[in-house]
Structure 1
Amino acid sequence: MKREELIKKWLDHNLNTEEQIAFKQLDDYNELIKMDSALRDFKAPKFSNTQSYQEVKTKLKPRVSQPQQWLKPLLRIAAVLAIGFSIYYYTTSLDTTIDTEIAEQTTIALPDNSMVNLNANSTVTFNESHWNKTRAVELQGEAFFKVAKGKKFDVITADGIVSVLGTQFNVKQRQSYFEVTCYEGLVAVTYNNKTTKLKPGHSFKIIDGKLLATEKENAVQPQWLHGESSFTSVPLKYVIKEFENQYNRTITTENIDLSRLYTGSFTHNNLDLALKSVTIPLNLSYSISEESILLKRE
């Protein structure tokens, strides 16, 4: 049997006893066995078809008079292995990102059955394949977490990191606004390399770079989970931003001090009632057009 046919049958694991003996008598038998072992131990993404081909050329002793056709199926096998390992490496390193639009909320089950309620206009990102090693999510916007007991669980935001073992808490991180409220268990908030621990009912609030004193929270969950946004001594500009997150309208103002503090709440399912809840306590008036709302002093 010709040399090339022996190698093809060897690649297919289809050699009989006589052919096996003949195959072992080939001049480059040892090199072929070493190359086969190397392919079995192959790991992506360091594989290079070109480099492997060059190594094959230097190790084997081709006969110039006969084209080495047996190399083609071998390289095809190597290429398939490279693609397979690369796809596996790529897909398992991908992050999962979930977004909500304006006036939209969603619930997310994490790999350990921890639950995340994501508020409107928010984003949460996590890596499922690495979850057993590191329980961590990145948050932009606002979310309420019910964390299953286990290893440390981190919520990473642009302003700080919230760390727990198993508890319920709310995190809100929007531009120049960072607030964490603990509803169950113990929450550690790291801000500017300083850690603050929160017990149930206590909050940590930073607005415009200033740490604000907060009252103890008696509720067992944030109000936005029940269709209502609530505020305690929050500048009006942040109330307006949250209003825009819950209603698909742009709000403009006229001769209004946006640093005025607002305490109160507004509903997410009735535009007129929500506007009255904000404007009446502040002696403001409003007018509604097709896509925008104008607020001004009375």
Structure 2
Amino acid sequence: MNREELIKKWLDNNLSSEEQKAFEEIEDYNDIIQIDSALKSFKAPEFPTDKNYDSLKSRLKFNQNKSKQWYKSLLKIAAVLAICFSAYYYTTTLDTKINTQIAQNANVNLPDASTVHLNAKTTVIFNKKKWNDTREVKLDGEAFFKVAKGQKFDVITTNGTVTVLGTQFNVKQRRDYFEVTCFEGLVAVKHDEEKAELSPGNTLKIIDGKQFTIEKELTTQPSWLRGESSFTSTPLKYVISELENQYDMTFIAEDIDTSRLFTGSFTHKNLDLALKSITIPLNLNYIKSGNSIVLKRE
């Protein structure tokens, strides 16, 4: 059954279970549902109909029956125009929002063939309808971008904005941690009033509001695409936070100094190995208790 037939049967509340599943798998399913919800909740704007009608009545020499018919027709036209305007406005301003959960990655194709690879616990938002005018992605979390050449491309986060034309780069924004690494092309980063340009292999970090020296990155892609998280002189609290993003566990670190700096990496595929990779270099122990892990000093 084609897309139009599925939509028609859905509007008639006449989908079988198999047809419902097929309907939910069509490309613009989410857009259709959101538009339907918006129209159901739509309320036509109020306007002084009596006053407008009196004005028309005093100017036009219609008989009473024709005046009533015109008045009703006017209301119908106004309601239809209002609904059409609402539907048009809603569809042209509709954003696409994509989330990943704990230990989940995802690949997203943008309207211009640019791609975004999302790390765990990440959200991206963009607008397909406005893409030809503004290439703009809002990011909360971590993502690796491969941007098709073209006009300016912006990645907007709460900690700063990354601007490019066509390149490959990684952006990580979690709480008070902001990190941008350029792998290809040229990347411009704006944080508050500060601006910096990154060439391939360079990284900019801003942790707890403090900007760190740009470092040299020798790889061609971020380590998390290979299934591990890597850190250089990073406070332990952010390493723990990333562990929680990759493993469905809660970490308790009340008895240790989480401001200590950690340099190293941990795998996303083996919790025990990941814990040893972090605790051994820092002379720490850990105890598992259900879905919690308590970090302790030796």
- Smaller-chain TM-score range? 0.7 to 0.9
Write the mapping of 1:188-199 to structure 2, written as runs, cut at 5 A. Answer: 188-199=188-199
Residues 1-298 of structure 1 aligned to structure 2 (within 5 Å): 50-51=47-48, 54-59=51-56, 60-64=60-64, 68-298=68-298
Percent of counterpart pairs with the same letter? Answer: 62
Structure 1 residues 54 and 286: alpha-carbon distance in aligned structure 2, compared to 1, 3 A threshold: same
Quote the offset at 1:53 in angstroms. Answer: 6.8
Task: Please give the alpha-carbon distance, in whole angstroms, between the structure 2 residues aligned to 1:146 and 1:67.
Answer: 63
State how far apart, in whole Å, the 2-side matches of 1:189 and 1:199 are: 11
Task: Give unpaired runs (5+ residues) of structure 2.
Answer: 1-43
TM superposition shift of 1:215: 3.0
Preserved CA contact (<8 Å) 1:49 1:79: no
**C-alpha separation in 2, matches of 1:210 and 1:161:** 16
Contact kept, 8 Å, 1:62 with 1:68, in 2: the verdict is no
Question: In the TM superposition, what whole-angstrom CA distance separates every residue of 1:85-138 from its partner, at most 9, and x where no partner exists?
Answer: 211112211222211111111111111111111111111111221111111111
What's the TM-score once normalised by structure 2's chain length? 0.79
| 1:4-47 CA distance string (max 9 Å, x none) | xxxxxxxxxxxxxxxxxxxxxxxxxxxxxxxxxxxxxxxxxxx9
CA contact (8 A) 2:143 2:171 kept: yes
After superposition, the C-alpha distances for 1:244-269 in whole angstroms (9 at most, x for unaligned) are: 01111000024211111111111111
- Is the CA contact 2:204–2:215 (under 8 Å) kept in the aligned structure 1? no
Unmatched 5+ residue regions in structure 1? 1-46
Residues 239/53 of structure 1: CA separation in 2 closer, same or farther (3 Å cut): same
* 1:87 match: secondary structure: helix
Q: Does the 8 Å contact 1:254/1:297 carry over to 2? A: no
Q: Report how many residues are paired.
A: 253
Q: Distance in 2 between matches of 1:140 and 1:65?
A: 61
1:66 Cα deviation after fit: 6.7
Distance 1:81 1:49 in 2: 13
List per-residue Cα deviations over 1:34-66 (Å, max 9, x = no partner). Answer: xxxxxxxxxxxxx96744674355233332477
**Contact persistence 1:49–1:78 (CA under 8 A):** no
Q: Does the Cα contact within 8 Å between 1:144 and 1:168 map onto a contact in 2? A: yes
Q: Report the CA distance between 1:208 and its aligned residue.
A: 1.5
Mapped to 1, the partners of 2:240 and 2:86 lie a distance apart of: 47
Output the amino acid matched with 2:102: I
Distance 2:277 2:65 in 1: 91
Work out the CA distance in 1 between the residues paired with 2:262 and 2:209. Answer: 18
Q: Alignment partner of 1:159: what SS?
A: coil
Using the TM superposition, give the Cα deviation of residue 167 of structure 1 relative to its aligned residue in structure 2, in angstroms: 0.2
Structure 1 residues 281 and 49: alpha-carbon distance in aligned structure 2, compared to 1, 3 A threshold: closer
Counterpart of 1:16 in structure 2 is: none
Once residues 53 and 83 of structure 1 are traced to their aligned partners in structure 2, the CA distance between those partners, rounded to angstroms, is 21
Write the letter of the residue equivalent to 2:87. Answer: I
Corresponding residue SS for 1:144: strand
Q: Is the 8 A contact 1:205 1:211 kept in 2?
A: yes
- With over 3 angstroms needed to count, the CA separation of the structure-2 counterparts of 1:54 and 1:214, relative to structure 1, is same
Cα deviation for residue 283 of structure 1 reads 1.1
Write the distance in 1 (CA, Å) between the matches of 2:90 and 2:137: 20
Structure 2 CA distance for partners of 1:245 and 1:61, relative to 1, 3 Å: same
CA RMSD of aligned residues (A): 2.1
Residue type of the alignment partner of 1:148:
A
Counterpart AA for 1:97 = K
SS, match of residue 212 in structure 1? strand
Q: What letter matches 2:276 in structure 1?
A: K
Letter aligned with residue 257 of structure 2: D
Q: Which residue of 1 aligns with 2:41?
A: none
Q: Secondary structure at the match of 1:219?
A: coil
**CA spacing shift, 1:65–1:255, aligned 2, 3 Å:** closer
